[in-house]
Amino acid sequence: MTVAQRPWWKDGIVYQIYPASFKDSNGDGVGDLNGIISELDYIRSIGVDVIWICPMYDSPQVDMGYDVRDYEDVYRPYGTVQDMERLIEETHSRGMKIILDLVVNHTSDQHKWFQESRSSKDNPKRDWYIWRPARYVDGVRKAPNNWVSNFTGSVWEWDEHTQEYYLHLFCPEQPDLNWENPETRQAIYQSAMEFWLKRGVDGFRVDTVNMYSKGDMQDAPITDPGSEWQFAGYQYCNGPRMDEFLGEMNQILEKYDAMTVGECPNTLDMNRVHQYVSAKEKRLSMVFQFDVVDVGQGPYKFQTTPKNWTLPDFKRAVARTQDLIRAPSDGWTTVFLENHDQSRSITRFTSDLPQHRVSGGKMLALMMCALSGTLFIYQGQEIGMTNFPESWDMSEFKDVDSSNYYKMVAQRTNNDPTALAAAHKSLQHLARDHARVPMSWSTAPYNGFSPPDAKEKPMIKSLSSASGSACF
């Protein structure tokens, strides 16, 4: 009787690295690949088995690299393809594996594919993206449907040159690829996946993995009467061809024994989640469920406070993430409290007051390590980094999601000071910016993120040593 070999990714600890804010090796104020290489021994020393690199691809950086201009090149301030090849080699030489972010729901509007697609309606790549004619109501041009973008506003952008709208579930600078087109899919598999798998990458964290098949794109129900644009996440996620698309991807991934962890928002049905991670179905190795990090959030994620949830709420959310490893499930799950899209867990779930910070951080770490599933740690989480100080004003919030939310509140309330103060308070609690400040390495200038003689200050202000240094 042959015992099936246990997949390597079930026993690994994954450490997520956000290149821009991890380690600046050359003093230009931006983290880079050589900075990551310089700290691989440290990463290995804390028990990490796999490193996950957030997007390092060539990008205009509208959404910090999640707007890819070229899958086969590297954002120059981070380094070069040769630097990436060295990072892969150095990681493997230390007995660790490396996975990349796979961002293929959309590209940058500067990607050559989209530049061709928008050049004319007759271009061979026109159908590589999702274009629709306008609707007209009483002679007034309207978007094809009422969906709201993940970053506020409509998901549709008017293209004056070709007189049609294109779809962008995120920023206007992030047009959605048309996965219904087989040519598009093959180009994605070759350029975004095999280019890096052939260079030794061990898998991918798959961004917005359940958004590729968008269904019939009918209007969403009215859930926000004060807005023209409505939440449609349950319509464009988990569409009718998702299993087919993931099956195609897996045919490539299996050749390399690659792991995948899919970002799977707007999926309340646990049976659907199980279908994605079933060992028998072979679609994804595991997924991120957001029940825990979303606990207590309002209709829009920033509309919450630390007291909007109770301990039983938190317990139920944690228990739900464990359902995928309970019989009769043949799936697998993930354990995480932080990533590049979340605020810091000590601030979010315990208290970052000096008298509570250490014990709160240790309690969360113990809970995570006691749960079943692949453990994911975000850079700085292991030393107890917290949200940046409440004294920082709105000028310090650099993320597009934060700025768009604040602008939306300003527009809806005619710049009402009370509403804007509440919006600022919400961002102090939940903004993605908190996870994106430079990593704290020491009490040296810039907390050791940049060399002491750096030519440029870090692109995002460093935390003071009192707020950002190690607590364990």
Tens digit of each residue's pLDDT (9 = 90 or more) over 203-224 = 999 999 999 999 999 999 999 9
Going by the DSSP 8-state scheme, the letter that residue 177 receives in this structure is B
CA distance linking residue 82 with residue 71, whole number of Å: 14
Is 36 exposed, middle or buried (CB count within 10 Å of its CB: 0-12, 13-18, 19+)?
buried
In this structure, what are the phi and psi dihedrals at residue 50, rounded to the nearest 5 degrees? -140, 135
* Residues belonging to the chain: 472
To the nearest whole number, what is the mean pLDDT of the chain?
93
In this structure, what are the phi and psi dihedrals at residue 204, rounded to the nearest 5 degrees? -145, 145
CA distance linking residue 126 with residue 188, whole number of Å: 16
Distances (CA, A) of 111 to 56, 175, 270: 15, 10, 36
pLDDT above 70 as % of the chain? 95
304 has a pLDDT exceeding 80? no
Spatial CB neighbours of 420, under 8 Å, sequence gap ≥ 6 = 406, 409, 410, 413
Q: What is the pLDDT of residue 148?
A: 97
- pLDDT class for 458, splitting at 50, 70, 90? confident
The CATH architecture one would assign to domain 8-105+185-468 is Alpha-Beta Barrel (3.20)
Spatial CB neighbours of 160, under 8 Å, sequence gap ≥ 6 = none
- pLDDT class for 464, splitting at 50, 70, 90? very low
CB 65 within 8 A of CB 54: yes
- pLDDT class for 401, splitting at 50, 70, 90? confident
Show the tokens assigned to 19: 């290149």
Beta bridge partners of residue 204, listed in sequence order: 100, 260
447 has a pLDDT exceeding 50? yes
User: Minimum mean pLDDT among 99-113, 181-195, 398-412: which range?
Assistant: 398-412
Residue with tokens 């932080």: 338
Tell me the catalytic residues: 207, 263
CB 152 within 8 A of CB 399: no
Domain coordinates of the chain in residue numbers? Answer: 8-105+185-468
Is 390 exposed, middle or buried (CB count within 10 Å of its CB: 0-12, 13-18, 19+)?
exposed
- pLDDT class for 422, splitting at 50, 70, 90? confident
345 has a pLDDT exceeding 70? yes
Q: What is the pLDDT of residue 452?
A: 87
Note if the bond before 7 is cis, omega within 30 degrees.
Answer: no
- pLDDT class for 430, splitting at 50, 70, 90? confident
311 has a pLDDT exceeding 60? yes
Lateral strand order in the sheet of 97-102: 286-288, 259-263, 203-206, 97-102, 50-53, 13-17, 374-378, 334-335
